């Protein structure tokens, strides 16, 4: 028998027989060749992968409770520093980590940053540990192969493969600000609940992002924090325990919101907070910021806003910055002294004897309540039947004074509360703001006041 082009089957049969004999191992070799770079990339990072089990503090109904959560992280140094998300490790009473060799190790929360959703842990061990190599997210391109590692739905040491869909996805600030200082890496590598805090890895085995979010109702749409952003935050947390950022009290909007003329450069100042350095300096809503300390700024589209916000945040805290603004046809230079930015999420505390929980008054809360200054504490819940609830304290109240002493912040209230609790003081007068009105709330902590009326009258069943 002859094949096409006159080649005899007898001539090629020995070669075909050899191929047939090698086919099973040959197929495996070919598959290994295709998947080899992916497997090598995974193998470089997997030993540093961490399964995180934080015990989260939850404040609800005037009580503090605890719940077990699940997340992911990765070791960045041989002495045991771990990167994860703030929403994984923040507000935790304790954190346990399971390493790649199945050892369970406790960890301390070194610091968190809600504005970038980054947290740093320190493993409680003296052993030298495997750690990842960080890449550069600035070098990413759409279409590149990436791996998402972590613990989706608690399934530890899982790997998914996909590509970078977009390198600079802007997620906006609907409701709470999600990412004021960065755009996101969008990927179709599977990211599910539990993957949060795990590494996004390029084909070289370098970490290029921190897996953080999913798009509800969508498939194959996940988001990671660029590692260039995360690295800067991690370094600050390890060095100082927190990230120091400047604040002047302005809200920016893209130029497209005001003009369709592409030659009009700058960024629109859409709002100026009352209690802010910008207000004191005379900055007005509608001004167009064109330069900071002589450096031009421009945000024609909303995805360019994070760069402008970060330019303000990166100014030295307490320094004087010159803002060049365009006000109508006039150009004005305004000197603004920066303040340290307060975290958007205030810490919370439980006041068990009175039966309520409270949080710090953040700048956003102060603005919405139209407080003349950022003082007091926000009641986040009152336990029904507790002393505070019976006195009339409600969720949403802002406690401004306690026995005519000004409440500057949560720590100040804790100290004043402790004094009265330790002295077994029966009556305490609170001055609170509820909505636009102020009122007095008399707290009666006497033991007999805590008894239901039927018990006092001897009718308890």
Q: Which residues are catalytic?
A: 87, 117, 196
Q: Are 178 and 194 in contact (CB under 8 A)?
A: no
Instruction: Please name which of 45, 101, 93 lies closest in space to residue 73, comparing C-alpha atoms.
Output: 45
The Cα–Cα gap between 310 and 130 comes to: 33
Burial class (CB in 10 A: 0-12, 13-18, 19+), 335: exposed
The Cα–Cα gap between 399 and 223 comes to: 39
Q: What is the DSSP letter of 156?
A: T
The Cα–Cα gap between 191 and 200 comes to: 10
Q: Are 234 and 120 in contact (CB under 8 A)?
A: yes
The Cα–Cα gap between 155 and 283 comes to: 52
Q: Residue with structure tokens 């030659």?
A: 263
């Amino acid at each position: 028998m002859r094949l096409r082009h006159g080649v005899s089957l007898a001539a090629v049969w020995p070669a075909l027989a050899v191929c047939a004999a090698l086919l099973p191992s040959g197929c495996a070799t070919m598959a290994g060749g295709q998947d080899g770079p992916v497997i090598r990339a995974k193998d470089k990072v997997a030993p540093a992968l961490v399964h995180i089990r934080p015990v989260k503090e939850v404040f609800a109904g005037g009580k503090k409770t605890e719940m077990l959560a699940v997340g992911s992280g990765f070791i960045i140094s041989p002495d045991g520093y771990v990167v994860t998300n703030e929403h994984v490790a923040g507000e935790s009473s304790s954190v346990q980590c399971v390493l790649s060799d199945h050892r369970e190790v406790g960890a301390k929360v070194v610091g968190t940053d809600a504005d970038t959703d980054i947290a740093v842990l320190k493993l409680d061990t003296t052993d030298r540990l495997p750690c990842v190599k960080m890449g550069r997210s600035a070098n990413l391109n759409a279409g590149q192969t990436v791996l998402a590692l972590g613990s989706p739905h608690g399934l530890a040491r899982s790997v998914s493969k996909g590509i970078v869909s977009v390198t600079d996805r802007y997620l906006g600030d609907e409701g709470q600000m999600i990412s004021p200082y960065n755009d996101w890496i969008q990927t179709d590598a599977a990211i599910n609940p539990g993957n949060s805090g795990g590494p996004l890895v390029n084909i070289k085995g370098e970490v290029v992002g921190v897996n953080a979010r999913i798009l509800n109702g969508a498939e194959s749409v996940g988001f990671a924090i660029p590692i260039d952003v995360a690295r800067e935050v991690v370094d600050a947390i390890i060095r100082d325990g927190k990230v120091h950022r400047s604040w002047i009290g302005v809200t920016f909007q893209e130029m497209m919101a005001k003009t369709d003329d592409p030659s009009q450069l700058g960024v629109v100042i859409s709002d100026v907070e009352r209690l802010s350095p910008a207000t004191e300096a005379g900055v007005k809503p509608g001004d167009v910021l064109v330069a900071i300390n002589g450096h031009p700024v421009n945000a024609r589209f909303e995805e360019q806003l994070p760069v402008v916000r970060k330019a303000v945040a990166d100014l030295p805290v307490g320094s004087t910055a010159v803002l060049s603004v365009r006000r109508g046809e006039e150009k004005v230079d305004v000197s603004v002294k920066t303040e340290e930015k307060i975290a958007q999420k205030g810490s919370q505390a439980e006041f068990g004897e009175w039966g309520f929980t409270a949080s710090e008054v953040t700048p956003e809360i102060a603005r919405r309540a139209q407080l003349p200054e950022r003082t007091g504490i926000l009641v986040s819940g009152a336990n029904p039947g507790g002393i505070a609830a019976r006195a009339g304290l409600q969720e949403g109240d802002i406690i401004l004074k306690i026995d005519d002493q000004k409440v500057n912040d949560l720590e100040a209230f804790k100290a004043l509360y402790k004094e009265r609790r330790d002295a077994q003081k029966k009556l305490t007068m609170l001055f609170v703001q509820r909505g636009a009105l102020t009122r007095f709330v008399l707290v009666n902590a006497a033991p007999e006041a805590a008894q239901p009326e039927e018990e006092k009258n001897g009718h308890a069943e």
